[in-house]
């Protein structure tokens, strides 16, 4: 049975930290494929960000290996995007696969507030990044899974990884100062060509 991982985010823009996290999480669960899914842009986000089509294009430049598949299913669906809808869509595409859902520690610790989170957990193994080397943080996440989410250890994998201290917000601020650290040359050229984040 193939292991298919779902990796969603705004990716505005996608950067080296996103890719490193995806690779670390994939290794921890033995994923055969990682589907990278840029979200439809939130109405609460600044209009200075990239369009959904541009974020999709940039993801294609970052996640180029055959191991990755960049999908526009949330963008084409439009409207408010719920993870459960995406999970169901991916399951239809890969009916005989085992699904894994990637998320960072902050998302995991608010997972109980997600729409239909229990259904999501019943259909996916959760792979959560513990982006710290502090044992206390890992213990907090395990306690949250056990006591709040009522998830057994078979349904959640904790990936202890070295934190990547970079965010898309920082990248956008850097671009304003003509600094293109933490993004590949192709994404940098794309940003320049489209005049993004200025």
Q: What is the CATH number of the domain that holds 69?
A: 3.40.50.620
112 domain-assigned: yes
Angstrom distance (rounded) from CA 191 to CA 61: 12
Q: Are 58 and 65 in contact (CB under 8 A)?
A: no
Q: Which of 118, 137, 123, 159 is nearest to 27 (CA)?
A: 159
128 domain-assigned: yes
Mean pLDDT, rounded, for 1-27: 93
pLDDT tens, residue by residue, 131-161: 666 677 888 899 999 999 999 878 999 987 7
* Total of domains in the chain: 1
Mean pLDDT, rounded, for 44-69: 86
Q: Please say if the pLDDT value at position 96 is more than 50.
A: yes
25 domain-assigned: yes
186 domain-assigned: no
**CB-based contacts of 107, cutoff 8 Å, min separation 6:** 128
Q: Please say if the pLDDT value at position 167 is more than 90.
A: no
Angstrom distance (rounded) from CA 157 to CA 164: 19
Please give the residue range of the domain that contains residue 41: 3-166
113 domain-assigned: yes
Q: Please say if the pLDDT value at position 27 is more than 80.
A: yes
74 domain-assigned: yes
Q: Report the range of poorest mean pLDDT among 19-33, 131-145, 166-180.
A: 131-145
Mean pLDDT, rounded, for 171-196: 92
- Tokens at residue 108, please? 């995991």
13 domain-assigned: yes
68 domain-assigned: yes
DSSP H stretches of helix in 113-162: 117-123, 135-147
Q: Which of 42, 56, 32, 38 is nearest to 187 (CA)?
A: 56
Angstrom distance (rounded) from CA 6 to CA 191: 26
Q: Are 144 and 114 in contact (CB under 8 A)?
A: no
């Amino acid at each position: 049975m193939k292991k298919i991982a779902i990796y969603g985010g705004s990716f505005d823009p996608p950067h080296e930290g996103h890719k490193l996290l995806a690779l670390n999480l994939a290794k921890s669960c033995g994923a055969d494929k990682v589907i990278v899914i840029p979200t439809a842009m939130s109405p609460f986000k600044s209009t200075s960000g990239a369009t959904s089509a541009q974020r999709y294009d940039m993801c294609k430049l970052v996640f180029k290996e055959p191991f990755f598949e960049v999908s526009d299913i949330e963008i084409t669906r439009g409207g408010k995007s719920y993870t459960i809808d995406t999970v169901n869509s991916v399951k239809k595409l890969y009916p005989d696969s085992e699904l894994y859902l990637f998320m960072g520690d902050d998302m995991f610790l608010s997972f109980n507030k997600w729409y239909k989170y229990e259904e999501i957990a019943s259909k996916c193994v959760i792979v959560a990044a513990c982006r710290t080397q502090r044992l206390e943080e890992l213990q907090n996440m395990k306690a949250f899974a056990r006591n709040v989410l009522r998830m057994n250890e078979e349904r959640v994998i904790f990936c202890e990884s070295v934190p990547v201290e970079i965010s898309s917000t920082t990248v956008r601020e850097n671009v304003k100062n003509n600094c293109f650290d933490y993004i590949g040359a192709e994404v940098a050229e794309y940003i320049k060509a489209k005049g993004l984040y200025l």
